[in-house]
Amino acid sequence: MYEQLPTPFGLVRYGVAPDHPEVRHCETKLDEVAAHTFSGRDGASSEAVGFEFVGNVKVGRDVSLLEMRGAYDAIVLAYGASQDRRLGIPGENLSGVTSARAFVGWYNGLPEFRTWDPSLLTRGNSVVIVGQGNVSLDIARILLGGVDALRGTDMPEYALEALSRSTVRRVHIVGRRGLFQLACTLKELRELLELQTCAFTGMHPFERWRKVAKVGRARTRMHHRLADGSAMVPTAARKKWSLDFMLAPACFNARQRIEDGGQIGPDSPAEIRDLVGVDFEKTEFANEEEEDRIREDARVVGTGNYRSIEAQLAFRSIGYNAEALPGFEELGIDFDTRTGTVKNFHGRALAKTQPAESDNEEARARSVPEAVPGFYTAGWCKRGPTGVIASTMMDAFDTAETIAADWTKNQPFLNGKRKQRLDSGVDLGGWTGGAAAGGGGGGLKQLVQEQRGVQVVNWRRWKRIDEEERERGRRKGKAREKITDVAEMLEVADRKVQFVGVG
């Protein structure tokens, strides 16, 4: 398992909100696999067999897919969606406009966003979140829930300290479509409604929608819950939040208004001008029939009327995007830049189709894309950035079954079919051995670690980081205190374990 950071668990460690520790339980599964690996052979081996964690190694920088190809039978691309989508509207680069990904990364201790500017939390009291998915609700809960509820979690101290000084009092969670297209789920909505620190405003429209009976059970429950309102009444609350519907973001405004959709380019001084508000174009349903308005895929159009919402801080929370890895082109792996996914069939990565020789459209449509032998995909880069952890698990099972079926059916893999491979007796070597990738017999490990000087973090070394984080947490009465600097992680990972004699 290759990972660019010295730590495993990806989005589970750096994307799941700190106050949702139960969601992180899936980490124990990987722990179990790794533990089994360690004791699996003779217990004396210092190198893992069966499963190997190759941390602090970035595929495409420290080792290429082409180099890896010779060392394995199959490679599963499960690198998630690490870019955030942009709105492409004026003012997006203003100081005060930030991505949900950056803020979530910051409060979760992701090294890349350790330097997110916490002074944005004290610029004013009004916040706009563009998008109404679960990430938006996570952000609203962290901003409004009160820092005391987070103290025992693994949220880094710097984030707790900054949030305790936050002046945010009002959060607008804004959607370009309507109530029936709300992208979040009931559980997350309920959590926000049950907070004792803030009130949900603007309940009246939901009373009206309560009467619509034609939507599924899950949506009906969500609407009923919204109509019931928050635990706190708005008049008594110091902090408030709302769901604002049918508003498409049009422009972020700075102290000096950006007239006529003025272009904000990378060289413009936008970053040094402060956000004061967001302009939205009011939308209406493309089809006003009730049947269509309650559909999840209902379309909206602009009305030419606008509404401004005051905000000193705005989050772009409209989903994530995956990018192609270096090497896809050479390997012929088809990456769909529109959806940000590896084109696949049940996890089998598909090859770029050659344009059919015939000019005949029908003949071209008939050409079935072939798989790239040995390459598979799972997770958000397989199906796009949607779904909760359970959906990602199901999706991984689907890919695993495909791999097993291909092996059983003697389909071609990276280095030939199963039968040929087993008959040849060649040891591909994986990370530690074999003659792969010109590594001179030492495999990829020798190539990456010795020839390229990369400080690789294996599972044992990660465990040292893990233990150090738990120890730092224990001292502060919290689950763990994450190390948020890669150099410090590497220093801890390589620290010799001190044995203290007894007696």
- Show the site string, 437-476: x = touches ligand NAP by CB under 6 A, - = not: ----------------------------------------
d(CA 116, CA 113): 5
In the DSSP assignment, the letter for residue 274 is B
d(CA 52, CA 199): 48
Can residue 386 be called a binding residue for ligand NAP (CB under 6 A)?
yes
* Minimum gap (Å) between residue 297 Cβ and ligand NAP: 9
Candidates 48, 65, 97, 130: give the one binding ligand NAP (CB under 6 A): 130
* CB 360, min distance to ligand NAP, A: 37
Region near ligand NAP per CB under 6 A, out of 132-140, 260-268, 356-364, 421-429: 132-140
Q: Pairing state of beta strands 239-244 and 247-254?
A: unpaired
CB 291 within 8 A of CB 319: no
Structure tokens at 351: 């090859």
Q: Which residue is nearest to ligand NAP (CB)?
A: 133
Name the minimum Å distance from CB 102 to ligand NAP. Answer: 13
Where are the extended beta strands (E) located within 299-353?
300-310, 313-316, 320-321, 335-336, 341-342, 344-345, 348-350
Q: According to the binding rule CB under 6 A, does residue 318 interact with ligand NAP?
A: yes
249: which residues sit within 8 A by CB, 6+ positions away?
87, 89, 130, 174, 176, 278, 279, 280
Segment 178-197, which members bind ligand NAP (CB under 6 A)? Answer: 181, 183, 188
Closest CA to 459 of 42, 60, 33: 33
Instruction: Give the nearer residue to ligand NAP in terms of CB position, either 101 or 239.
Output: 101
Site size toward ligand NAP (CB under 6 A) is 24
Helix H or strand E segment including 292? helix 290-293
Instruction: Name the one range near ligand NAP by CB under 6 A: 128-136, 201-209, 356-364, 454-462.
Output: 128-136
Question: Which residue from 8, 156, 175, 439 is in contact with ligand NAP, where contact means CB under 6 A?
Answer: 175
Q: Which is nearer to ligand NAP, 75 or 278 (CB)?
A: 278
Task: Closer to ligand NAP by CB, 177 or 480: give it.
Answer: 177
Which helix (H) or strand (E) is 291 found in, with range? helix 290-293
Stretch that binds ligand NAP, among 142-150, 176-184, 204-212, 400-408 (CB under 6 A): 176-184
**Residue for token digits 């989508």?**
85
- Is residue 113 within 8 Å of 102, Cβ to Cβ? yes
| Among 70, 374, 385, 429, interactor with ligand NAP by CB under 6 A | 385
* Residues that bind ligand NAP in the complex, under the rule CB under 6 A: 87, 130-136, 138, 175-177, 181, 183, 188, 249, 317-320, 385-388
